[in-house]
């Protein structure tokens, strides 16, 4: 048995994994008070939950997925929780006496989705795959010849921080014109809410129902969003020539609106260096479990 942990900006996802299957799953939401001493809260919850589960299972190792830059188990920066230079691996290993691996959350989700694809079609074991997690921002990973690509100094492949607009909108990373400032599902929803005067606390099915009922009023927003996503995705296709492009994160809930139009935009405009009549664009299937499962791979 392994434990997978997905450390997010608003909660911790926690799962017991056997043969890449979720056996048990838990979640803890962060309160505002928690965020004032977040590292203490994270460690207390993880240590307590692991020790509790050790009474039921033989836990071999722990994997942690985090939305930020990681090196050798050290979270270099996790801006949404204000965490910098926190060696979570060293700290937790000293308390739990278990091997711990730490990796960027989008890379973890990429690994999990790739493993799921291969299980369903073994001929794709050596495939090239580009995975994008489109949510609050845009993260991602690249599988090349069946292996996850990683940098030597940093994990790299920060797909969301590829610049697609010269002198564009400012990004939290300090640059301007980053892909995630135009292609994240959060940016899309914020524009729609502002146009239609929708309260910020409207989410999920209620938001999608409003959008479906006001298509004409937001047609320009939708078209611009599709164009920006197509631009970013086509850049990745030109660089990596993947066999499959997988889109995950919160975008999956809106894919019925955009998937076919993104494909058409990429194929029918001069975005691709090597033109083609079709390409394999898929929607991620593991949902929020992908980061937890992928952390154990």
Is residue 23's pLDDT more than 90? yes
pLDDT average, residue stretch 77-97:
90
Q: CA 193, CA 202: separation in Å to the nearest integer?
A: 9
pLDDT tens profile 213-254: 999 999 999 999 999 999 999 999 999 999 999 999 889 999
How far apart (Å, rounded) are the C-alpha atoms in residues 26 and 134?
23
Residue 81's pLDDT is 82
pLDDT of residue 208: 94
CB 195 within 8 A of CB 122: no
CB 183 within 8 A of CB 232: yes
pLDDT score at 40: 94
Which residues on neighbouring strands pair with residue 6, listed in sequence order?
A: 13, 65
Pick the CATH number of 2-104+290-294 from 3.30.420.40, 1.10.287.3510, 3.50.50.100, 1.10.287.90: 3.30.420.40
Q: What is the CATH number of domain 108-287?
A: 3.30.420.40
Contact (Cβ atoms closer than 8 angstroms) between residue 18 and residue 60: no
Cα gap 272→270, rounded to integer Å: 6
Closest among 281, 165, 283 to 224, alpha carbons compared: 165
**Segments of the chain assigned E as strands:** 2-7, 11-18, 21-29, 61-66, 69-71, 74-78, 83-87, 100-104, 129-134, 138-144, 147-148, 244-248, 280-283
Intervals of CATH 3.30.420.40 along the chain: 2-104+290-294, 108-287
Task: Specify the pTM.
Answer: 0.88
Give pLDDT, residue 60: 95
The pLDDT value recorded for residue 157 is 84
As to burial, measured by CB atoms within 10 angstroms (0-12 exposed, 13-18 middle, 19+ buried), residue 276 is exposed
Could you report the per-residue pLDDT of 269-283, keeping only the tens digit for each? 999 999 988 899 999
Indicate whether 200 pLDDT > 90: no
Contact 9, 288 (CB under 8 A): no
Mean pLDDT value across the chain: 93
What pLDDT is recorded for position 122? 94
DSSP label at residue 149 = -
- Please give the average per-residue pLDDT across 81-93, as a whole number: 93
């Amino acid at each position: 048995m392994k434990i997978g942990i997905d450390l997010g900006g608003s909660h911790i996802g926690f799962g017991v994994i056997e043969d890449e299957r979720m056996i048990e799953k838990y979640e803890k939401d962060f309160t505002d008070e928690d965020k004032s001493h977040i590292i203490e809260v994270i460690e207390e919850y993880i240590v307590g939950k692991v020790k509790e589960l050790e009474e039921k299972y033989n836990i071999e190792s722990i994997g942690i997925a985090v939305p930020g830059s990681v090196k050798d188990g050290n979270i270099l920066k996790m801006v949404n929780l204000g965490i910098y230079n926190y060696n979570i691996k060293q700290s937790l290993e000293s308390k739990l006496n278990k091997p711990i691996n730490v990796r960027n959350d989008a890379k973890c989700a990429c690994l999990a989705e790739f493993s799921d694809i291969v299980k369903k079609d073994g001929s794709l074991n050596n495939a090239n795959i580009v995975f994008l997690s489109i949510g609050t921002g845009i993260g991602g990973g690249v599988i090349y010849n069946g292996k996850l690509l990683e940098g030597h100094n940093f994990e790299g492949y920060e797909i969301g921080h590829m610049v697609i607009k010269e002198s564009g909108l400012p990004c939290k990373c300090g640059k301007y014109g980053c892909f995630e400032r135009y292609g994240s599902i959060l940016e899309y929803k914020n524009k729609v809410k502002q146009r239609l005067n929708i309260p910020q606390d409207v989410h999920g099915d209620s938001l999608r129902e409003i959008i479906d009922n006001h298509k004409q009023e937001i047609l320009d927003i939708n078209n611009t969003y599709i164009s920006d996503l197509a631009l970013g995705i086509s850049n990745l296709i030109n660089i990596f020539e993947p066999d499959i492009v997988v889109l995950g994160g919160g975008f999956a809930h809106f894919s019925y609106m955009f998937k076919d139009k993104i494909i058409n935009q990429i194929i029918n405009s001069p975005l691709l260096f090597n033109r083609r009549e079709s390409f394999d664009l898929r929607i991620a299937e593991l949902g929020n479990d992908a980061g937890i499962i992928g952390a154990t791979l």
